[in-house]
Amino acid sequence: MKIKLAKEDIENPRIQLIERVSGEDLRRCYQCGKCSAGCPVSFAMEIPPSQVMRFLQLGRVDEVMNANSMWTCVGCLQCYSRCPQGVSVAAVLEATRQITLRKGTDHEKIKDVPFPFLKNAPQQAIVCGFRKFVS
């Protein structure tokens, strides 16, 4: 089952880029809300996972790109495991994050990370964090 969208939303190059990078068909989401219900960090997101999908279906890419949702997502894939359509909102949010980082726009500046944190944090945590937030 796929949501029917207006031609201009389907042909939006920004939506097509998100679909290509994520490997997801945004039209498959029919807003059941199971992704948001199971998301461990949806309480901290400006736009919860199910609404992210709807915003993108409606072509409201700027609102999704300007929200903290893509930076807050931990990529646990709980959304994917609960989705009856097999849609991974985590993959979509990772795609939006990668598209932003590819433009050279860092979410966090390395110089702003406190030195004591860098000194004491596990190296894997630092590398993973910088991969997620720095271009």
- Ordered structural domains, the chain, with CATH: 7-103 (1.10.1060.10), 107-135 (no CATH)
- What would the pLDDT profile of 83-123 be if each residue is shown by its tens digit? 999 999 999 999 999 898 888 776 666 667 777 777 787 77
Residue 87 CA to residue 47 CA, distance in Å, equals: 17
Burial label, 28 (beta-carbon count in 10 A; 0-12, 13-18, 19+)? middle
Judge whether residue 51 has pLDDT over 90.
yes
To the question of pTM greater than 0.85 for the whole model, the response is: no
What gap in Å lies between CA 24 and CA 1, rounded to an integer? 14
